[in-house]
Every structure is written in C-alpha cells, then in structure tokens.
C-alpha cells in the first residue's frame, strides 16, 4: 500500500489531501509523477496529473488543491453517506 | 513580469496513453496543472509573462505543439450576473441593480440566453461599462478583449475544420461525446 512520497512537501500535502478525499494515487513514469483518480471510478471520473518537477512547486500544489476541491464526485459521495 | 492565471480547454489526445503528460511537459506546459474531466483536457496555467496577451499566446502555442486541439479559453467572455459580481468585486445584489438600471445608466444588454432566468452578458461590454465608472482597471478590460478575441478565433477555426474535415487529431472519443 505504501507509495513513495513526492519530493516537494507542498505537492505531497496536496496529494495527501486528495487521498483524504477518497482519491487514488496511481504512480506513473516520465514527467508525470502520478495520476490522481477521483472517487468516481467510471470513465466520467476526473483524472489529475501531478508533475515530478513543475515549473513552480507552490503554484502546482495550489492548483492541485483547487482541482481536488472542485471535483463534484467527492461531494456526491459525501451526500450519499448521509442518505 | 507578472503571473497570469487562465485555463485552456483542449481535446484530441488520449489521457490513458503513456506519453500523454510528457507531450505537454515537452511542449512547455510544465506551468500548467492538467486534468481530464468529461472528456476534455483542462490545462490550468500559472504563466509568468510581460503581459496577459503574451502569456495566453505562448500557452496556446505550447498546447498546440503538444498535439492537442484547443476548444476554449476561460475565464469565459460570456458571463452571468454572479460572474459579473465576482469579477467586479461587488455583491450579487449590486450586479442586479446595475442590470436593472437602478444603479448607473446604460448597462449593456445580455447577449445570450436572453429569454431565461440566467441571461449572459459579453464581459467585454460589461468591463467597458465598469471601466467608465472606474470600478476596474485598464488591464482587466484589455484582458477581457484578449480572451474574447481568442475564443472567437478558436470557434471560427473549429467551424472551418469541421466543414472541411481537416481535424486530423484524435477522433475516437472513448468517453462518448455528449
């Protein structure tokens, strides 16, 4: 289960936030460090690409956080639990 | 040099191919955070450049160099009253007063979805109106014009490509086109 940590701590924090929201981290090769898959595991789910070495770590981390929080599939899952 | 945030929506590359992200990285999109939603490639740029037009123009070239086809630039130039409120830094109620003519005169007329509860305005016209009242800066107005120009050019080009079938990109949409 253990995955490797992202070398940048801000990006690693964003990845951990995604995991806490139910996203799956799928390690990849090349310039993309990993792909984050949202809780909706169908072709309609969101895929988010995490760079190994983005031009600016902080910008990338913030942008990842915004995209994770904007994903409607996480919120829908939360609503389902209440029903 | 200043940082500009904008989003380019594109299509034509399969996110499940191994080289998907590397193509964008190699083409200079390493200052964009890329996601794939509802069959569309979303590139959220944080680009440093001397001005907005320059930032957008270079980013468009980078995305095309990666082999993707650009569909749209956001923040869109078609805006709702809520969008106007956010962009002008006023409340939703204030934006309604502008549109009703209760506060200020000659607010532009909506240009789309005019018969619905939520009509849309052309942000360039609204920005010009706000600019006259000193509510937004010149840079914001120029930015509005650049985005509208880019989006109109993109849709014109896409329409031509559809008619003449020159869209040589990735056609198989594994997420069934809506």
What the block records as the tokens of B137 is 């800066």
| A79 interfaces chain B, CB cutoff of 8 Å | no
Q: Which of B1, B3, B5, B21 should we substitute to test contact with A (largest number of A Cβ atoms within 10 Å)? A: B21
Average pLDDT over residues B8-35: 96
Q: Give yes or no: residues B8 and B52 share one domain.
A: yes
| A8-48 per-position pLDDT tens digit | 999 999 999 999 999 999 999 889 999 999 998 777 889 99
Residue A28 and residue B21: Cβ atoms within 8 Å?
Answer: yes
Residue B31 and residue A49: Cβ atoms within 8 Å?
Answer: no
Domain ends where: B74, B100, B125?
Answer: B74
What's the CATH code of the domain at B29?
Answer: 3.30.70
Residue B22 and residue A30: Cβ atoms within 8 Å?
Answer: yes
| A81 interfaces chain B, CB cutoff of 8 Å | no
Query: Residues with Cβ < 8 Å from B23, sequence gap 6 or more?
Result: B13, B66, B67
Q: Give yes or no: residues B85 and B67 share one domain.
A: no
ipTM of the complex: 0.87
Q: Give yes or no: residues B52 and B112 share one domain.
A: no
Among A28, A54, A67, beta carbon nearest to B30: A54
| B101-130 per-position pLDDT tens digit | 988 889 999 999 999 999 999 999 999 999
Distance from CA of B39 to the nearest CA of A (A): 8
Q: Give yes or no: residues B21 and B82 share one domain.
A: no
Read out DSSP for chain B?
-EEEEEEEEEESS-TTSTTHHHHHHHTT-TTEEEEEETTEEEEEEEEEESSHHHHHHHHHHHHHHTT-EEEEEES-SEE-HHHHHHHHTS-HHHHHHHHHTSSSS-PPPP-BSTTSSS-BEEHHHHHHHHHHTTSS-HHHHHHHHHHHHHHHHHHHHHHHHHHHT---S----TT---
> Quick one: B98 exposed, middle or buried, by C-beta within 10 A (0-12, 13-18, 19+)?
buried
Q: Give yes or no: residues B23 and B38 share one domain.
A: yes
Q: Give yes or no: residues B102 and B131 share one domain.
A: yes
Whole-number Å distance between alpha carbons of A10 and B113: 42
Average pLDDT of every residue of chain B: 90
Q: Give yes or no: residues B48 and B18 share one domain.
A: yes
Q: Domain range for residue B86?
A: 78-139
In a domain, B54, yes or no: yes
List Cα–Cα distances, A54 to A16, A25, B107, in angstroms. 18, 18, 43
Residue A32 and residue B15: Cβ atoms within 8 Å?
Answer: no
Among B18, B38, B44, beta carbon nearest to A63: B44
């Amino acid at each position: 289960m253990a995955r490797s940590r992202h070398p940048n701590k801000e990006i690693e924090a964003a990845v951990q936030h995604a995991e806490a929201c139910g996203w799956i981290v799928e390690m990849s090769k090349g310039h993309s460090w990993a792909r984050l898959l949202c809780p909706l595991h169908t072709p309609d789910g969101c895929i988010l690409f995490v760079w190994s070495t983005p031009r600016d770590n902080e910008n990338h981390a913030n942008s990842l956080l915004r995209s994770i929080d904007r994903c409607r599939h996480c919120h829908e899952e939360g609503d389902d639990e209440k029903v | 040099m200043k940082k500009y945030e904008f989003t380019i929506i594109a299509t034509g590359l399969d996110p499940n191919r191994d080289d998907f992200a590397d193509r964008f990285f190699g083409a200079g999109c390493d200052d964009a955070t890329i996601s794939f939603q509802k069959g569309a490639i979303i590139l959220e740029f944080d680009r440093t450049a001397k001005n907005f037009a320059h930032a957008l123009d270079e980013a468009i070239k980078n995305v095309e160099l990666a082999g993707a086809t650009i569909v749209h630039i956001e923040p869109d130039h078609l805006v709702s009253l809520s969008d106007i409120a956010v962009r002008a830094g006023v409340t939703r109620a204030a934006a309604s007063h502008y549109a009703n003519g209760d506060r200020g005169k000659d607010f532009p007329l909506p240009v789309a979805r005019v018969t619905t509860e939520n009509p849309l305005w052309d942000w360039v016209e609204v920005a010009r109106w706000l600019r006259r009242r000193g509510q937004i800066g010149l840079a914001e107005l120029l930015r509005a014009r650049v985005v509208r120009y880019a989006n109109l050019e993109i849709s014109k080009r896409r329409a031509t490509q559809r008619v003449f079938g020159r869209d040589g990109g990735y056609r198989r949409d594994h997420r069934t086109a809506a």
